[in-house]
Structure formats: structure tokens, C-alpha cells
Amino acid sequence: MATKNIHEAKLAEVKQLSENQAEFVIRPLYYGYGNTLGNSLRRVLLSSVKGAAITAFSIEGTTHEFTAIKGIREDVVDIMLNLKNIRFKVHSDAPIELTLEMKGDKQSEKDGDKRVVAGDIKLPAEVEVANPNQVICHIDDPKYTLKMRMVVESGRGYLTIEQASEARLHSDMIAIDAVFTPVLRVRYKVENTRVGQDTNLQQLSLIVETDGTITPKEAFEEAAAILVNQYTALAGSTKIESAPAPGAGNDDDDSGLMLPIEELDLSARTANALINNDIRTIRDLVTLSETDLRDLKGFGQKALDEVKEKLTEFNI
């Protein structure tokens, strides 16, 4: 039977891979929508999620970026590159000016240059640093005192150095091109999946890694909300009725999928492996792809072959 409506996408699973990395599994999807959703979400995550960065700075005693500073190991260009790597979380839409003052000490002569890091910046209540150990520079003269000012702004996407220069709060500051996005990497994978006898479906797995100023879940939801706003504006008053995700309804035709897993008459070893992974009904089983089943604890190729054979016998 032909499909009358495109069913709604369903966020089936969120796997926290690390503190700043998570995998979002969306299934089952109308055929072809794995790449449609995956590509659009990836592009928005990498380009449009709100973040913060330094857009201008000054160092006492310098007037432009092509300057060597007596008392600092690095030149101004090196310091500029280090400043671009500092990750900020800003609770304000207005530009915020930060200061840093650090003096070399006698210990720097004995044990090496004094290291200046992001954690040494004086921060107001509206600003947090996600990577306080990020190096800014090294003071190699114990008599030298480093005095810096920085402007941090929130934004989206990329700010060119020309735009940053035009928008400077202070003309004596050096402008920086800024990357605002807090999302570092996005990868996605599309696989075929099935629900009951419907095999013409897909599963999308999206792995999101952030810089620590925002959680992967917050970034994922913000990207989805941006897409919703854009498409809603384009759709006007047109409404398309969507069908519930396959396997989400309670129709009589679907009642067989609610039977316990034991009804498949599987071997004790295979049945126990499924139950131990919280797969208790036939519906729970058929919403998983072969890759999902292989990843189950205690579930090998022999068990996978047995499940496929039984599902075929039951015309599922």
C-alpha cells in the first residue's frame, strides 16, 4: 500500500559518549530522510549555534599585531592565535571587556618562563572560561608586567577581521576574526532499519562534540529549533498532516508486536540476551537495526541469525 503521509521523526535514543560528546539516534525515518535531516542538522550545528569569542584585544606597549614584545617569548601574532582558542560562555548579549595583569617573578629565571593562561583573566559574573589551561603567552623577563584588555562578544557563525575591526569598542585595540560556534565536530551515519514488515525505513545516528560551553543536547535542540523556525516561516499557512512514527500507534494490526519476546520461541541463551538488554517485546526487537543488535551485550552473530530466522517464520 502506498504511503499517504510522511510520518514524524522520533528521537529514539541519546547516548552520552563523554562529557562533551553525545550520539543522537533518530528512527524510524521515511526513506531518504536520513540524509535530508542529517545534512541539514550538521550544517546548522557547525554554523549557527550561539557561542562567544574574543573579537579584539590590546597589550600595553604595542600598537599593531606585527610587533615583538620585550619580556614576552611570543610575538603579538602568536598571542592572537592563542586568544582565538579560548572558549567562553557568556551570559549577556552585550560586548564585555576583560582584563589580565601578570608580572614575571624570580622563579621564571630559575625554572623557565612564567606561563600565562586563560584562567588568569579577570572575569565578571557574566563570563566563564571552559578551558582555563589554554596558554596565552610566556613571560621571559621577571621584571616585565603584562597588561592586556580583551573584548568578548556572543554571536553565531564567523566574524571576519574586517567586520571585527569596524565594530571595535576601542580604536586602539587589535581586531580578531572570531569563530563563535561552540560545536567542534558533527558526524552522522544513515542505516536501513525496519518496523514489522515495513523495511523501507532509515535510522540516523548523529554524533555531536562541543567545546564544553554548551552540552551536546543543548546544541542539538537549538539547531533543530533553528530549522523549525526557518521552515515554518517558508511554509506560510500550509499544513501537512503527518503520520505517527511506525510502531508508535496502538492499532489492532500492530497488536502482534506487543507480544512478549518469548513468543518467538527463541533459544534460552538468545532470549536471555535480549531481555538482559531490556528488549522485552517483539516491537522492541523490530525497531532495532542489525548494527544495534550486534552492539548488544552478550549478543553475537549466531543469535542475530536465529532472530532473523524466527522473524521470517512469523512473517514479521
Task: Tell whether 225 is covered by a domain.
Answer: no
Q: How confident is the model at residue 9 (pLDDT cuts 50, 70, 90)?
A: confident
Q: How confident is the model at residue 142 (pLDDT cuts 50, 70, 90)?
A: confident
Q: How far apart are CA 59 and CA 54, in angstroms?
A: 14
Residue 112's domain is classified under what CATH number?
2.170.120.12
Residue 278 domain boundaries: 255-316
Nearest to 71 by CA among 10, 19, 116: 116
The per-residue pLDDT for 251 is 45
Q: Among 7-16, 89-98, 132-141, which stretch is predicted with the lowest mean pLDDT?
A: 7-16
Task: Tell whether 264 is covered by a domain.
Answer: yes
Task: Tell whether 217 is covered by a domain.
Answer: no
Residues 6+ apart with CB under 8 A from 51: 88, 154, 155, 156, 180, 181, 182, 211, 213, 214
Residues 259 and 154 in one domain: no
- Asked which of 179, 206, 234 is the last residue of a domain, the reply is 179
Q: How far is CA 257 from CA 1, 219, 253, 298, in A?
A: 20, 35, 9, 23
The per-residue pLDDT for 252 is 43
The per-residue pLDDT for 78 is 93
Residues 154 and 58 in one domain: yes
Task: Tell whether 40 is covered by a domain.
Answer: no
Q: Is the model's pLDDT at 168 over the cut of 80?
A: no
User: Model-level pTM greater than 0.85?
Assistant: no
Residue 302's domain is classified under what CATH number?
1.10.150.20
Residues 63 and 157 in one domain: yes
Residues 55 and 174 in one domain: yes
The per-residue pLDDT for 38 is 95
Q: Is the model's pLDDT at 243 over the cut of 90?
A: no
Task: Tell whether 231 is covered by a domain.
Answer: no
Task: Tell whether 208 is covered by a domain.
Answer: no
Q: How confident is the model at residue 250 (pLDDT cuts 50, 70, 90)?
A: very low
Task: Tell whether 189 is covered by a domain.
Answer: no
- Asked which of 179, 208, 227 is the last residue of a domain, the reply is 179
Residues 56 and 144 in one domain: yes
Q: How far apart are CA 293 and CA 285, in angstroms?
A: 9
The per-residue pLDDT for 119 is 94
Residues 67 and 171 in one domain: yes
Q: How confident is the model at residue 269 (pLDDT cuts 50, 70, 90)?
A: confident
Residues 269 and 173 in one domain: no
Q: How confident is the model at residue 3 (pLDDT cuts 50, 70, 90)?
A: low
- Asked which of 179, 209, 232 is the last residue of a domain, the reply is 179
Q: Is the model's pLDDT at 265 over the cut of 50?
A: yes
Q: How confident is the model at residue 248 (pLDDT cuts 50, 70, 90)?
A: low
Q: Is the model's pLDDT at 44 over the cut of 90?
A: yes
Query: What total of structural domains would you count in the chain?
Result: 2
Task: Tell whether 214 is covered by a domain.
Answer: no
Q: Among 89-98, 113-122, 306-315, which stretch is predicted with the lowest mean pLDDT?
A: 306-315
Q: In this structure, are residues 140 and 108 in contact, taking their beta carbons and an 8 Å threshold?
A: yes
Q: Is the model's pLDDT at 258 over the cut of 70?
A: no
